Chain A
Amino acid sequence: MDLDNYSNIKSPIHSWDARWKCITFFGYILISAFVNNFYNLIVIAAASTLLVFFAGLPIRKVLKSLKPLFILLLFMVPVISLTPTGDAIFSYGVIKVYRDGLITAGIISVRAFSIVLATIVLFGSTRINIIIKALEFFKIPPVISTIFLFTYRYIFLYIENLNKLLTSAKLRGYRLLRGIRHIRNTVSILVSLLIRSYEQSERVYYAMRLRGFSGSFRSIGSFSFKWPDIVKTGIFVILFTVIIWIELL
Chain B
Amino acid sequence: MHISDGILDPKICIGGYVLAACLVGIALKKVKQEDITKVSVVGAAFFVSSLIHFKVGFSSVHLTLIGLVGIVLGVHSSLAIITGLFFQAVMFNHGGLSTLGVNSVLFSVPALIVYGIFDMVFKRIMNHTVLGVIAGILAGGAVLLAILCVMFILYFSGEELRGFAYLFSISNGVLALVEGIVTAIAIMQILNVKPQMLQSYRQQVK
Contacts and interface: CB of A to CB of B under 8 A. Distances in A.
A151 B47 CA distance: 9
Contacts of A197: 41, 44-45
A98 B160 CA distance: 9
B36 A215 contact: yes
Contacts of A32: 6, 98
B111 interface: no
Interface extent on A, as a size class?
Answer: 35 or more
Contacts of A187: 181-182, 185-186, 189
Nearest to B51: A159
B159 A72 contact: no
Interface of A is mostly: helix
A34 interface: yes
B24 interface: yes
A242 interface: no
Contacts of A109: 6
24 contacts: A1-B91, A3-B90, A29-B97, A29-B98, A80-B161, A83-B161, A83-B162, A85-B160, A104-B161, A115-B5, A115-B96, A119-B90, A123-B90, A144-B79, A147-B79, A147-B83, A153-B40, A177-B52, A183-B185, A190-B182, A198-B41, A202-B38, A205-B36, A215-B33
Interface of A: 1, 3, 26, 29-30, 32-34, 65-66, 68-69, 72, 76, 79-80, 82-83, 85, 98, 100-101, 104-105, 107-116, 119-120, 123, 141, 143-144, 146-148, 150-155, 157-159, 162, 177-180, 183-184, 186-188, 190-191, 193-195, 197-202, 204-205, 213-215
B90 A30 contact: no
A205 B37 contact: yes
A144 B28 contact: yes
Contacts of B10: 30, 33-34
Nearest to B37: A201
B40 A150 contact: yes
A18 to B, nearest CB: 15
Contacts of A177: 52-55
Interface extent on B, as a size class?
Answer: 35 or more
Interface in B180-200: 181-182, 185-186, 189-190, 193-194, 197
A190 B186 contact: yes
A109 B160 CA distance: 14
Nearest to B13: A33
Nearest to A131: B90
B96 A151 contact: no
B31 A158 contact: no
Given A116-B93, A177-B54, 15 more contacts: A82-B163, A85-B159, A114-B6, A119-B90, A119-B93, A144-B83, A147-B36, A151-B40, A153-B40, A180-B54, A186-B52, A188-B189, A190-B182, A191-B189, A194-B41
Contact of B5 (A80, A111, A179, A186): A111
Given A158-B48, A195-B194, A195-B197, A147 B39 contact: yes
Contacts of A101: 160
B190 A30 contact: no
A148 B39 CA distance: 10
A2 B72 CA distance: 29
Given A151-B83, A151-B84, A177-B52, A143 B31 contact: yes
Contacts of B159: 83, 85, 100
B144 to A, nearest CB: 18
A112 B4 contact: yes
A150 B161 CA distance: 38
A1 B93 CA distance: 11
B189 A183 contact: no
B45 A194 contact: yes
Contacts of A83: 159-164
A119 B89 contact: yes
A188 B184 CA distance: 11
Given A111-B5, A155-B44, A68 B93 contact: yes
Nearest to A179: B55
